[in-house]
Each structure stands twice: as C-alpha cells, then as structure tokens.
Amino acid sequence: MMKLEIRNASLGYHRTMILQNVNMELHTGETICVLGRNGSGKTTLFRTLLGLLPLQSGEILLDGRNLSSWDRTQFARKVAYVPQARSLPFPFTVMDVVLFGRTSHLKPFASPGKEDKAIAEWCLDKLNIIHLRKRIFTQLSGGEQQMVIVARALAQQPSFLVMDEPTSSLDFGNQIKIIRQVNELKDESLGILMATHSPDHAFMCDAKVAVVQEQTVMVQGDCKEVITEELLKEIYGADIRIHALTQSAMLSRKICIPEI
C-alpha cells in the first residue's frame, strides 16, 4: 500500500498561479478521475505531481517522502506518465518505444537486455497490440500510438499511473479498451489518476472523482455520491440528466444523458 499526496499546494508558473490550496491523495488500488473544463488546470496538476513543474508552495509526498528527496530514476519506477500530445522526430519502432519505459530500471550506462525485451513484449501482449511490435511508431494512428504509450508506462512497472486524457484521441472501441484496462490495473493494485472529459468514464471505472474548478480542486469523493446533475451543470454549463441503469448486474451503473 502506497500513497501519493499533495498538501496545501499552490501550482502554476513563475508569476501566474493556476491552482491554489490543493489537497489530494491517491492510494494504490484506486482510480481517481479528474474532471474539469478545458483549461481548468488539469494538466498543470498532473505535471506538478510528476515533478515536471516546480511547486510554488506546499508539498508533494510519495510513500511519505518529499518529492525532492526522490531522484528521477527512483521516481520513474514508482510513477509512470501517459501524456497527452507527443511528437517523435525519429522513426523508432514500437518495440523501441516500449523499451524506453525500461530506462529507469537500467544501470546508468546500460541498454535494455533480454529480460527488458520480455517485459516489453508482455506489456504489448497485455494491451493486445503485440502485432504492432515491429511497426514504426510515427506511422501509427493516434489510437494505436496511445496504446503504445500506455504499454510504455506499464513497462516502467509503476505503482501509480498518471494519465492525461488517455481516451481523447481514441474511437469508441478503443476508449472502452482503455477503461477496461484501467479497471484491470486497479484490481492489480495500481493507483490511477486519470483526466477525462466524460463523467461516464468515472462511473465505468467506479472511481473517485476530483473536480478542478475555480483555481482549486473542489469536490472529491466517490463518483456515485459526488457526480450530481447540479455539479455537471456547474462544470460544463449544460443540462445533463443522470440515470441509474438497473437492467442486469453487468449494467447496474449510472449514466449521463445530456439534454439537447
């Protein structure tokens, strides 16, 4: 059991504060969906949590230790990042890209060996994209690239997975695949922090919810309690009905239906 937490934090850039008074906790074995409209500061929150953007004030603790006492290699073995946009200037193969995820487990000047390749293949297999192994990463579709980046994150064998809108460029089928994968990983006791624009995803993952709004992380709690019609109206400025499905045990969850 491990914990990634952020306490009394102000987040932002040199002169402009984006988020203030942020308190949040992510445990292994749970999923937190971060909701919030475009530009509300979700990515800033993620980049700060990952130590890519310096904290303006407050503290971040991983496993009880301050972030500054973790070096990048140690941190990368615990927390993996699936970023939003990506660009790759050179024609690396999918296998190479997934092997990049092994870097934090290598000795300082070493390259990945047989064992690392086996792990990378296992990750590709787990996501059902082993057939892409020899393809050139830059020639893949957006959805395929997304899956490869998830595989790369898994190859880090982390305890936490921070995913910035992992479903944004995916078709409906691939979105469902990612959600299923998130649920599976949660059951394998990973802690997952996921930004999403669809409140339905929170219901599908049976996740906790954190809402980024008005320069802070406002509401936090279980999706079934927190996500209300009033909250959705407040976040998205639209009338959205929430229905509870009760047809069968498989489909007993809430869904969002926007009024058009």
Yes or no: say if 163 and 194 are a contact pair by the CB < 8 Å rule. Answer: yes
Q: Is 9 helix (H, G, I), strand (E, B) or coil?
A: strand
Q: 76 vs 232, which CB is nearer to other proteins?
A: 76
Q: 100 vs 236, which CB is nearer to other proteins?
A: 100
Structure tokens at 48: 């700060």
**Which residues here bind other proteins, judged by CB under 8 A?**
13-14, 47, 50-52, 71-73, 75-77, 79-81, 83, 86-93, 96, 100-101, 103-104, 106, 109-112, 136, 138-139, 152, 156
With 0-12 CB in 10 A as exposed, 13-18 as middle and 19+ as buried, what is 101?
buried
In the complex, minimum distance from the CB of residue 91 to other proteins, in angstroms, rounded to a whole number:
4
Strands annotated E in 83-224: 160-163, 191-195, 208-213, 216-222
In the complex, minimum distance from the CB of residue 181 to other proteins, in angstroms, rounded to a whole number:
19
CA distance 171 to 220: 29
In the complex, minimum distance from the CB of residue 62 to other proteins, in angstroms, rounded to a whole number:
14
In the complex, minimum distance from the CB of residue 50 to other proteins, in angstroms, rounded to a whole number:
6
